[in-house]
Amino acid sequence: MNQANKKEEAIGYINLSPTYLAANKPQQAIDCLHKALAIAEELGDKHLEAVCCCNLGNAYTLPGKYQDALTFLDRALKIPGATIEMMKVQACSHCYLGEIYVNLKNYEEARKHGEQALSIAQKMGSDEDLAKAYVVLADISRVVGDKDKSILYYKKALEPISRTGAAYLEHSCCFRLGELVISKIASGSNVNIFEKQEAQEHFERAIVIARKIGSDQAVAEDQSYYGRFCLLTGEYKEAVKYYQAAESTFKKAGRKADLKILYGQMSIAYERMGQSSQAKKYKIESSK
């Protein structure tokens, strides 16, 4: 087999790995990537080696094998290169490292890698990498409780996302932006009318995207959280409407724990509307 064919074989293994990851089969993805890495080493192709190491870092993260993940991501970053292709690998590796250090609760190290990913993405002018870096920084800020900074980063991510058409990432950002406002209201933080309007718009956008993607579960989760937002802002009829919309999907999926929470919230909404019989009915449902 000539070099071109071997490289094509390696790329095939790399392209196959996300399918295994999506199916929650990380070991098969890891095996594919090791095969690709062996070919890259045989060919002496440093860019291909870096891509394999970066992807291995991500694959090892899923089963919680963080030390292996760190080893391969560190290796990816040590491979020299200043081409756009190598810079993309570097930005991606820093994003993965940021996510790993969040899981390890080393937030200072996580932020450092998020900022490095952002710096590289800005140099490249890559919308895809900019969006990913902003999301990593937003996730870090959310985990450490800095809601305002997290909101800022998610909003910054939406601009490059709008140019790439990355529906899943846009949905995640819109959902998180709405969720963060819920968290601020629930904790007693001051939330002005403009923030509430933005949260409403983000939840509505998240629901639209989830429907386009075709994920009934994501639609139901968005509706459930939107109902929670409406409940906290005194829009009790709207809260019930969104809770009822989520209810049937949760029932079909057998999500009993989510249904109990949903019914408890519906009971509160009906009680505040003065509908005691409905409030009692859903309170009983929530206790089953």
Distance, CA of 165 to CA of 251 (rounded, Å): 32
Q: Tell me, yes or no, whether 186 lies in a domain.
A: no
What are the structure tokens assigned to 195, written together? 């923030």
Q: How far apart are CA 19 and CA 29, in angstroms?
A: 8
Is 180 within the bounds of a domain? no
111 and 38 within one domain: no
Q: Do 114 and 146 lie in a common domain?
A: yes
Rounded distance, CA 163 to CA 5, Å? 35
Count of the separate structural domains present in the chain = 2
- Is 64 a member of any domain? yes
**In the listed set 121, 146, 163, which residue is the last one of a domain according to the structure?**
163
Question: pTM for this structure?
Answer: 0.90
* Helix spans in the chain (H): 3-22, 26-43, 46-61, 66-78, 84-103, 107-124, 127-143, 147-164, 167-186, 193-213, 216-232, 236-253, 256-272, 276-286
pLDDT at residue 5 in the model: 86
Residue type, 88: K
Q: Which residues of the chain have pLDDT under 70?
A: 1
How many other CB atoms are found less than 10 A from the CB of residue 209? 22
Sequence letter at residue 218: A
pLDDT in tens, 169-207: 999 999 999 999 999 999 999 999 999 999 999 999 999
Residues 156 and 108 in one domain: yes
* Shared-domain flag, residues 33 and 66: yes
Domain that holds residue 108: 100-163
Please give the Cα distance from 74 to 261 (Å, whole number): 43
Same domain, 62 and 16: yes
> Could you tell me the CATH number of the domain that includes residue 117?
1.25.40
Residue 67: CATH number of its domain? 1.25.40.10
The 3 state secondary structure assigned to 47-100 is: HHHHHHHHHHHHHHHCCCCHHHHHHHHHHHHHCCCCCHHHHHHHHHHHHHHHHH
The pLDDT value given to residue 1: 59
Residues 67, 117: one domain? Answer: no
- Statement to judge: residues 76 and 115 lie in one domain: no
111 falls within a domain: yes
The answer to whether residue 247 is domain-embedded is: no
Shared-domain flag, residues 67 and 104:
no
